[in-house]
Structure 1
Amino acid sequence: MKYRTIGTDPDHRREVSVLALGAMLFGSLTDERTSFAVLDRYVEAGGNFIDTSDNYAFWVDGSQGGQSEELLGRWRRSRGIGDEVVIATKVGARPLAPGTSYTDNAEGLSAKVIRESAERSRERLGMEKLDLLYAHIDDPTVPLQETVEGFAALVAEGTVGLLGVSNQAIWRVERARALAAAAGLPGYEVLQYQHSHLRPRYDVPSDLFPDGSLGHAGAELLGYLCAEPTLTLVAYSPLLGGAYGREDKPLSADYDHPGTPARLAALREVARQTGATVGQVVLAWQIGGELPVIPLAGASSVAQLEENLAAVELELTADQRARLDAVH
């Protein structure tokens, strides 16, 4: 396994594996036995960066979520896992009532909710301190200063280490970070957005983000990473839910545009040259790139995880990387 540093404060920064494991469906669609097997193999391979949220996976059974955190808590206790494994979770998008959704009934990001939600996450996970806590979605109904101070208070109290943000407009991220900096408070240092080799359209609404943009790491966010080298992008859904390699998983409408065939052709060409799968090429392209990107890939079986782990050791040549970067 290879590692990179997230965070800048010596008291909170962590060395994490360059491939993060998504636990979104653990405890719901992925049963406990399989989830434990995947987690065990990931840690055995040197992986130490696991991602969840307080609302995973509310949509499976019409609940408020929490199944993933609860499973991770059971796994941690049964294996004696301590702070050697970094677990990231999120608050802000948990439905307030069963049968509702974060799109119309989210818990939000008030200081009160941040504190109470983080406490429930710590209880479910069995952790005295959350290693990394994200603002899952934006909450424009709450003053940004209150949200910033709410997260910072948990860091000051020692119940949270690093702070992150997901699925928010970059101007809002920058404003929040500026408010934190002006007040001498800890701010967001890890950004989590959807990012893959294929580039999406932004004029097609998606199920998750009706405006068609906020979930994706577009040019603005990537430019922001160039300008702020201390930030890290955790790229969720790098494999597009299996669409690169499974005929039963077609690409979504987000990728229905003239640029997609050329980028797919480049991926397939490099895959033939390396003897790797297209998915492994995508992960290796992210891991070895100039920008600080950590792909976040889920796995519903040990076999899927093994394929993803193999990408860590896949070294792309300069020519192959240039080929992948050249197509638009």
Structure 2
Amino acid sequence: MYFGTTVDEQRAFAVLDRFVEAGGTFIDTANTYSFWVPGGTGVESEELLGRWLASRGVRDDVVLATKVGALPDPPGAAWPEHAEGLSHEVVRAQATASMRRLGTDHLDVYYAHIEDRRTSLHDTVTTFASLVTDGLVRVVGCSNHAAWRVAAAREIAKASGLPGFTCVQQRHTYLRPQPGAEFGANPHISDEMLDYARTEPDLTVLGYSVLLSGAYTRSDRPLPEQYDHEDSRRRLAVLADVAAELGATPNQVVLAWLLGGDPPVLPVLGVSSVAQLDECLDALTLALDDEQRRRLNTAPTPL
């Protein structure tokens, strides 16, 4: 997310090099990263990735994902009220612009980044499907959408014989937000979405902000206010116990918990150093037994 803005090119290239060296193949960006950083416009991450892909010659070795729909229009306008949306014109034009910045003739995954209820869901589905049938996109998905919208979009595609959304990327982590917590256009994943995904074997769930910007392990990173409540303190205590038993970090346990969950959730890692990446990669060899997973899932609740 911050490659090309708060993470400079040298550090970003080092992280990316280490990722592919370790066997990593899936790289996720957006046409908005990171417009909110002072001086940022949203093109920085895609442009940096384009330079890295060209310099390393690894385009054919990676799964490349980007997103459309959340860029402020015009630049600097209030967000998300003035997000670009998911009209046919915007989606097609931005797909072309993203491919140009990334230096590729196709996108492996293309996401509808946030909801656009100004555009009919039918039109959004047919537009994204057209990118697949035209050979510009391999797989389409959505992010920050309500479960019923995802289900409805997939039904529209199925009924029309069109390629539909086969992945959904939502905010997700081990801690649960307090009831009524507000995340704006970037909601925490709902129980309804997870329940829906359990019944849809062709739907992959991905999670972002899974490590809460370092709040699980860094004293200088307080919990986001949406997670700062008593339930979190109970879950953090269990998380610390399980991490100690396994000789792992809380971050690694959170990642293992997501990967082995029902449904499994593929974490989208946001790291700014090789050391952070290596910590995350070590979670791939971490196995939670049934008892540890039960304790994490059923952290003590108040009487």
TM-score range, shorter chain: over 0.9
Question: Over residues 251-271 of structure 1, what are the superposed CA-to-partner deviations in whole Å (9 max), with x where a residue is unaligned?
Answer: 122113331122111100001
> What is residue 31 of structure 2 aligned with on the other side?
54
Superposition pairs of residues 34-183 of structure 1, within 5 angstroms: 34-183=11-160
CA distance in 2, matches of 1:187, 1:223: 19
> What is residue 285 of structure 1 aligned with on the other side?
257
TM-score calculated relative to the size of structure 1: 0.89
CA distance in 1, matches of 2:189, 2:84: 24
Superposition pairs of residues 199-278 of structure 1, within 5 angstroms: 199-206=176-183, 208-209=184-185, 215-278=187-250
CA distance in 1, matches of 2:200, 2:280: 28
Contact (CA 8 Å) 2:5, 2:40: kept in 1 or not?
no
1:102, distance to aligned residue in structure 2 (A):
3.6
CA distance in 2, matches of 1:308, 1:169: 28
CA distance in 2, matches of 1:64, 1:205: 25
Using the TM superposition, name which of 315-324 and 238-247 deviates more: 315-324
1:202, distance to aligned residue in structure 2 (A):
4.2
Q: Which runs of 5+ in 1 are unaligned?
A: 1-23
1:289, distance to aligned residue in structure 2 (A):
2.3
Q: What letter matches 1:245 in structure 2?
A: T
1:298, distance to aligned residue in structure 2 (A):
0.9
CA distance in 2, matches of 1:100, 1:75: 31
Contact (CA 8 Å) 1:25, 1:57: kept in 2 or not?
yes
Q: What letter matches 2:234 in structure 1?
A: A
Change (3 A) 1:131 1:102: farther
Question: Over residues 10-51 of structure 1, what are the superposed CA-to-partner deviations in whole Å (9 max), with x where a residue is unaligned?
Answer: xxxxxxxxxxxxxx0001100000000000000000011111
TM-score calculated relative to the size of structure 2: 0.96
Superposition pairs of residues 176-195 of structure 1, within 5 angstroms: 176-195=153-172
Identical-pair percentage:
52
Using the TM superposition, name which of 173-182 and 28-37 deviates more: 173-182
Q: Is 1:325 aligned with 2:297?
A: yes
Contact (CA 8 Å) 2:46, 2:98: kept in 1 or not?
yes
CA distance in 1, matches of 2:260, 2:58: 29
SS at 1:60's partner residue? coil
SS at 1:241's partner residue? helix
SS at 1:133's partner residue? strand
Contact (CA 8 Å) 1:287, 1:294: kept in 2 or not?
yes
CA distance in 1, matches of 2:39, 2:59: 32
Contact (CA 8 Å) 2:5, 2:44: kept in 1 or not?
yes
Question: Over residues 223-263 of structure 1, what are the superposed CA-to-partner deviations in whole Å (9 max), with x where a residue is unaligned?
Answer: 11112122111100110110101111111221133311221
1:174, distance to aligned residue in structure 2 (A):
1.1
CA distance in 1, matches of 2:171, 2:242: 23
Q: Which runs of 5+ in 2 are unaligned?
A: none
> What is residue 9 of structure 1 aligned with on the other side?
none
Question: Over residues 143-167 of structure 1, what are the superposed CA-to-partner deviations in whole Å (9 max), with x where a residue is unaligned?
Answer: 1111111100010000001011010
Q: RMSD between aligned alpha carbons?
A: 1.3
> What is residue 14 of structure 1 aligned with on the other side?
none
Question: Over residues 112-148 of structure 1, what are the superposed CA-to-partner deviations in whole Å (9 max), with x where a residue is unaligned?
Answer: 1110010000000011110000000011111111111
Contact (CA 8 Å) 1:63, 1:98: kept in 2 or not?
no
Using the TM superposition, name which of 33-42 and 217-226 deviates more: 217-226
